[in-house]
Amino acid sequence: MNRLMVTGEEVRSARKIPSTLSQLRSKSLWTNALRLIPIYSLMILLAFFFVLPFVFMVVGSLKPSAKVLAEGNSWQAFIPTEITFENYGEAFRRASFGQLFINSVIITSLTVTGGMIVNSLFGYALARFVFPGKRFLIGTIVALIIIPLEAYAIPMLFMMAQINWTDTYQSQILPFIANPFYIYLFYTFFLNLPKDLEEAAEIDGAGAWTTFLRIAVPLSQPAYATVAILSFLASWNQLLWPILMTRGPGVRPLPLGIAEFQTQQPINWGAIMAFATMMTLPTLLVFLIFQNAFIRGIARSGLKG
Amino acid sequence: MALLAKSRSYRNRHQRDAWGFLIVGAVLLLVFLVVPFLLAVGMSFTSQRLLSPLPTRFLGTENYERTLGDPDFIQALGNNVRFALLVVPLQTGLALLLAILVNQSLPGVKLFRVIYFMPLTMAMAAAATIWKLLYVPDTGFINGVLGWLTAGAVQPNWLRDQSVALLAVMIVGIWQSTGFQMVIFLAGLQDIPVDLYEASGIDGAGKWKQFRYITLPGLRNTLIFIITVTTIFAFRLFDTVYIMTKGGPLGSTDTMLLRMFTVGFNQLQIGRGSAVAVIFFLFVLVISLAQRFWLRQEGERA
């Protein structure tokens, strides 16, 4: 450790007050306010870059379709100059938004819940049980993390065609339940969980399943939240696989729906914006409500490797 | 003796339990990952088609030779490389800047963190669609702003002009996923002990020196992770180009995965599509191994 030398007392006293705030109080308010102007200007400018497409989408969805294009090149693109809900109706009528939404909900909810169960069981077995071939299995899981879906999508399409599973829900759910990266996340989480309670339960005669369900699962909410968020995003946003798997709107999910809708003549930009808004809303709401869990979940994917 | 017997029964029970816990995941991984991946390697040496009355033949390396000799594929690969070379440094730099900005203890900083992260909640398919409209040459917002700033001099036809179409796709990629990197950086920043900054501050180190000698070394592993993940992402480029350009104009936004899709799906040539998939995988493998090697170096030095 090449730490710079300070006494413990200095560190402790300095740590109590965040440095910027302490500066704010000790120095004159004016010089500090002046110093903060460039920082806030930069943050606001960047915020515009990230937030304007959202505003454009929501405002566009509420405007008569003709105005979406006509007012697109001025500040009016972000002002609801005239409000109508016609576009939302159009998205349901012309792009069968309702059916696509139900499809996405079915596919995503089953993939996420199935994945949480299967991957946590697998990770728990790797972390807690002693059995032959365990080291090999851990090595295999770590190696499998590297293989992206795209590397085997084409032969998997061939397999699905052989068993007549194209255009079904199960072909969009089953392949994405077991996931080596989520297994690895659960495995490392359970490894770092203190064993004492589980051992006490086993001594009291509880079986492995009871111990897992009653003790390990309730203590592992962060791991489950992380996997739920990551697999929700992956499943809800999936585009390539549904293109290969589905032929019509019957079992098609939302991302492919919008890809098709935005080429469907005559192009109705207002309705496309309404589609995009309704498609984004669930994720956005989940994020805004569970901000901290969401961001922590994403940060945890940095464990990879 | 009793202890030994007890530990043996404990062991047997463990083995039985392990089976129960592992079986479903193991079968799913085998059927939907290991087998199709091995099939990709196997079929890449054959003339396998999705639907064909002709029997499948073993072709040796013909699929690979034809893929690597195909100018369309080389152009697509070049686009992936170009995308990586530009987006990796730009996006990593921007994400680090955002992370440092929102890591300050200033009022309102939490709101900015939420805003920078928001694009991640929009599916790439939806984001690409919105941006397609922002890029419309005559009435799109981007040209509206450019026209106002340059008095109408700069008005590129974004998605139809070979020289800027890939740039347009890059901007959407950066918009959508910088928030992800920011969050990873944020976690990395918060792992750096606060004392290091305070101590160096007492020693009179300026902001830049602190960044250079404390922040950057402290973020080493985070940086390695982000650089490799973003590079892999550049090679996986598909959703945005599929929606915005379908690889055009004249192949200027074509990518390896779009080639795989065209050959393997549109033309139903499973064998040749698998060869493209294997070549794609080799790129991902090299990047991932580089990451693991790079991280291990650190471990040895420490």
What is the average pLDDT across B33-40?
Answer: 96
pLDDT at A10: 43
Give the confidence band of B92 by pLDDT, cuts at 50, 70, 90: very high
Q: Please name the residue that has the structure tokens 């040209």.
A: B143
Residue B264 per-residue DSSP state: I
H helices within chain B, ranges in order?
A: 2-29, 35-43, 62-68, 71-102, 109-117, 124-134, 141-149, 165-191, 194-202, 207-210, 216-218, 220-235, 239-244, 256-261, 270-301
pLDDT at B11: 63
Q: What is the CA radius of gyration of chain B?
A: 25
Chain B residue with Cα closest to A259: B243
Higher pLDDT, B195 or A109: A109
Q: What are phi and psi of B46, to 5 degrees?
A: -125, 175
pLDDT at B278: 96
Contact B48, B277 (CB under 8 A): no
At B209-258, the pLDDT tens digits run 888 888 888 898 899 999 999 999 999 999 999 999 998 899 999 999 99
pLDDT at A20: 53
Whether B188 and A302 lie within 8 Å, measured CB to CB = yes
Range from B21-25, B121-125, B198-202, B220-224 carrying the lowest mean pLDDT: B198-202
- Tally C-beta pairs within 8 A across A and B: 324
Q: Calculate the CA B9 to chain-centre distance.
A: 47
Average pLDDT, chain A: 86
Say if residue A275's pLDDT is above 90.
yes
What is the average pLDDT across A277-288?
Answer: 92
Most confidently modeled range among A5-19, A68-82, A287-301, B269-283 = B269-283
Half-sphere exposure of B61 (CA within 13 A, CB side): 4
Q: Is B1 helix (H, G, I), strand (E, B) or coil?
A: coil
Contact B226, A31 (CB under 8 A): no
Show residues of chain B in contact with A284, CB under 8 Å: 118, 121-122
Give the separation between CA B277 and CA B284, rounded to whole angstroms.
11
List CB contacts of A90: < 8 A, sequence separation 6 or more.
Answer: A65, A268, A270, A271, A274
> Which amino acid is residue B186, in one-letter code?
L
Give the separation between CA B105 and CA A22, rounded to whole angstroms.
10
List CB contacts of A143: < 8 A, sequence separation 6 or more.
Answer: none
pLDDT at B8: 57
Task: Suggest the residue from A73, A119, A145, A226 to mutate for an interface test with chain B (most B CBs closer than 10 A).
Answer: A73
Spatial CA neighbour of A176 closest among A246, A113, A256, A258? A113
Taking the CA of residue B82 and the nearest CA in chain A, the distance in Å comes to 20
Say if residue A49's pLDDT is above 90.
yes
Concatenated DSSP letters of B87-131: HHHHHHHHHHHHHHHHTS--TTHHHHHHHHHGGGGS-HHHHHHHH
pLDDT at B302: 45
Q: Distance between the two ends of chain B, CA-based, in angstroms?
A: 45
Range from A23-27, A71-75, A170-174 carrying the lowest mean pLDDT: A23-27
Chain A residue with Cα closest to B171: A49
Residue B219 per-residue DSSP state: T
Q: Enter the tokens of residue A153.
A: 């999508």
Say if residue B90's pLDDT is above 60.
yes
Higher pLDDT, A305 or B61: B61
Give the separation between CA A139 and CA A294, rounded to whole angstroms.
29
Show residues of chain A in contact with B139, CB under 8 Å: 69-73
3-state secondary structure A150-166: HHCHHHHHHHHHHCCCC
Give the separation between CA A127 and CA A138, rounded to whole angstroms.
10
B248: region left, alpha or beta (phi > 0 left; psi from -120 to 50 alpha): beta
Give the separation between CA B121 and CA A212, rounded to whole angstroms.
33
Q: What are phi and psi of B278, to 5 degrees?
A: -70, -40
Say if residue B301's pLDDT is above 60.
no
Whether A53 and B112 lie within 8 Å, measured CB to CB = no
pLDDT at B204: 80
Whether the ω angle into residue A222 lies within 30 degrees of 0, i.e. cis, is no
Give the confidence band of A292 by pLDDT, cuts at 50, 70, 90: confident
Q: Which helix (H) or strand (E) holds B260?
A: helix B256-261
Residue B55 per-residue DSSP state: P
At A183-240, the pLDDT tens digits run 999 999 999 888 888 888 888 888 889 999 998 999 998 899 989 988 999 999 999 9
Average pLDDT, chain B: 89
Tell me the ipTM for this assembly: 0.89
Whether the ω angle into residue B55 lies within 30 degrees of 0, i.e. cis, is no
Q: Which of A6, A40, A147 sits opposite B37 (nearest CB)?
A: A147
What is the average pLDDT across A32-42?
Answer: 86
What is the average pLDDT across A256-282?
Answer: 93
pLDDT at B75: 96
Sign of CA dihedral B25, B30, B34, B37: negative
Give the confidence band of A28 by pLDDT, cuts at 50, 70, 90: low
Q: Which of A150, A175, A239 sits opposite B277 (nearest CB)?
A: A150
> Which amino acid is residue B76, in one-letter code?
A
At B144-197, the pLDDT tens digits run 888 888 887 788 889 998 989 999 999 999 999 999 999 999 988 888 888 888
Taking the CA of residue A257 and the nearest CA in chain B, the distance in Å comes to 9
Q: Please name the residue that has the structure tokens 């013909």.
A: B62
